[in-house]
Amino acid sequence: MQTNASPAQSRASLKKTLTLFPVVMIGLAYMQPMTLFDTFGIVTNLTGGHVATAYAFALIAILFTALSYGKLVHRFPSAGSAYTYAQKSICPHVGFMVGWSSLLDYLFMPMINILLAKSYFESLIPGIPSWIFVVLLVGFMTLTNLKGIRTVANFNGLIVVLQILVMLVIVGMVIYGVAHGTGEGTLVSSKPFWTENSQVVPMITGATILCFSFLGFDGISSLSEETKDAKRVIPKAIFLTALIGGLLFIAVSYFLQLYFPDVSHFNDPDSSQPEIMLYVAGKTFQFGILIFSCVTVLASGMAAHAGVSRLMYVMGRDGVFPKRFFGYISPKFHTPVFNVLLVGAIALLAINFDLVTATALINFGALVAFTFVNLSVISQYWIREKLRRTLKDNIRFLILPLCGALTVGALWVNLEKSSMELGLIWAAIGIIYLAIVTKGFRLPVPQYDEER
């Protein structure tokens, strides 16, 4: 499956320009912290007013998997993320299927963000055809990714800082309202976390929904080949992204829950962001937030765009995808330009694509990646390297990743039927493709030879 590359292509490679702070900013931009306002009404209704506790449960589950990502980045500092980890730690066939499934998560995430931005624009300026917004946003997202990961990092860093500032302003208004008698009427209360009528099962169910607010913390592992001292920086960045995002979610939802103890204020709990902004800050602020939300989803889409183009690059470099196209790096920009353009073309499907279907696809891909990252730690360290002689080794390389796999298992149980059906169809297509590449599984799965 290996092909001869031109001299320019042989010299071209991903360029190491990133440090800890911009990598964390890309992760947080991917997570899009303000998504909290979109899910607040849903989870408030589900948990009986205990969103903060549901976020705490979700954070614990995600941190287990974040630790597993960190361990594997240290061993395999490649841009392939879960695909590379499963390939090297378990077997190449499993690695391919993990990478193939992960494409669902990464490939459709930019389009989902464009779909969200389109819906915001349609509500703001209904008189202009929505396809114009889609083309302009996808064009900006694609051109920024073509220029290089540093440009994406700088833009995302700015947007994340602005998101946090906006959230702080909203929390300030919420605190002012609660202090003056709105909602619970007190700023110190255990009710957002627990009451005498609390039930654990609904909170865990709420946590399964909120876990998808953390999507993106794992995506930064695909930036390993563009990060200085990746073995040290990427594990720390993955953990910090999940932790910072989780603590921010818990803190903001605590104060929001004091302001909105239940869903009685919401006409539509499934779409709570506009009503939260309206009640807390008024019509003018609500309009401004919708405009800013377009920018935040664009930043998230740009981060996802960068991640999936790197995943496809690694799969192309390995030879499981056509190398001349997917494994090409521009000598000028040091980016996988063909992949960036392909992801941009797919994002244009937002003109007519269904948001529900796209969301179902990414949920399946994310859970596959999370599951096999935890299993890869056990396979690589506990089984292959036999690091199981001490209690510390057994905790690090068996118990913690097993806890991660089990918490992800709880998400599998609550996965929507459509996500499972579409994901299995996609997996079946991947198996057929792999059979073709390996001549009916008679040939080994192609892998990149780092010595070449």
Tens-place pLDDT, residues 157-215: 888 888 888 888 889 999 998 998 888 888 888 888 988 787 888 888 788 778 777 87
- pLDDT, position 142: 92
Angle (deg, nearest 10), helices 200-210 and 400-413: 90
CA atoms within 13 A on the CB side of 24: 15
Percentage of the chain lying above the pLDDT 70 cut: 93
pLDDT tens string 145-163: 888 778 888 888 888 888 8
Residue 2's pLDDT is 43
The answer to whether 335 and 145 have CB atoms below 8 angstroms apart is yes
Report the distance separating Cα 83 and Cα 315, nearest Å: 8
Q: How far is the CA of 149 from the CAs of 55, 142, 263, in angstroms?
A: 31, 12, 41
123 burial level (CB within 10 Å; 0-12, 13-18, 19+): exposed
The residue that leads in pLDDT, 234 or 362, is: 234
Query: pLDDT-derived band of residue 133, with 50, 70 and 90 as boundaries?
Result: confident
Question: Angle 230-259/35-47 helices, nearest 10 degrees?
Answer: 60
User: Alpha-carbon distance 389 to 68, whole Å?
Assistant: 19
Among 250, 295, 344, 277, which Cα is nearest to 32's?
295
Between the alpha carbon of residue 181 and those of residues 37, 185, 204, 258, 259, the distances in Å are 22, 4, 31, 10, 9
Structure tokens at 318: 């390995």
- Residue 417's pLDDT is 79
Pick from 100, 109, 115: which is nearest to 31 by CA?
A: 109
- By the 10 Å C-beta count (0-12 exposed, 13-18 middle, 19+ buried), 234 is classed as buried
Model confidence at 97: pLDDT above 90: yes
Q: pTM above the 0.95 mark?
A: no
Measure the CA–CA gap between 364 and 109, rounded to whole angstroms.
12
| pLDDT score at 29 | 83
- Per the prediction, the chain carries an average pLDDT of 84
> Is the alpha carbon torsion for 99, 343, 243, 223 positive or negative?
positive
Q: What is the pLDDT of residue 10?
A: 44
Say if CB 306 and CB 152 are below 8 A apart: yes
Confidence class for position 398, pLDDT limits 50, 70, 90: very high
Other CB atoms within 10 A of residue 25 CB: 26
Q: What is the pLDDT of residue 448?
A: 60
> How far is 210 from 219, CA to CA, in rounded Å?
17
Give me 67's structure tokens.
């630790």
How far is it, in rounded angstroms, from Cα 321 to Cα 330?
18
Q: Which residue has the higher pLDDT, 195 or 379?
A: 379
Six-digit token pair at 332?
């000028």
Least confident of 56-70, 72-86, 323-337, 419-433: 72-86
Instruction: Tell me how far CA of residue 327 lies from CA of 78, 223, 370, in angstroms.
Output: 14, 16, 25
- Of 279, 199, 189, 224, the closest CA to residue 69 belongs to 224
3 band by pLDDT with thresholds 50, 70 and 90? very low
Under 8 Å between Cβ of 238 and 66: yes
Q: Indicate the DSSP class of residue 182.
A: S
| Residue 445 backbone zone (phi > 0: left; psi -120 to 50: alpha; other: beta) | beta
* pLDDT tens-place string over residues 267-316: 777 667 777 887 887 777 777 877 787 888 888 888 888 888 888 888 89
Nearest to 92 by CA among 445, 450, 427: 445
Q: How far is CA 238 from CA 27, 28, 75, in A?
A: 8, 10, 15
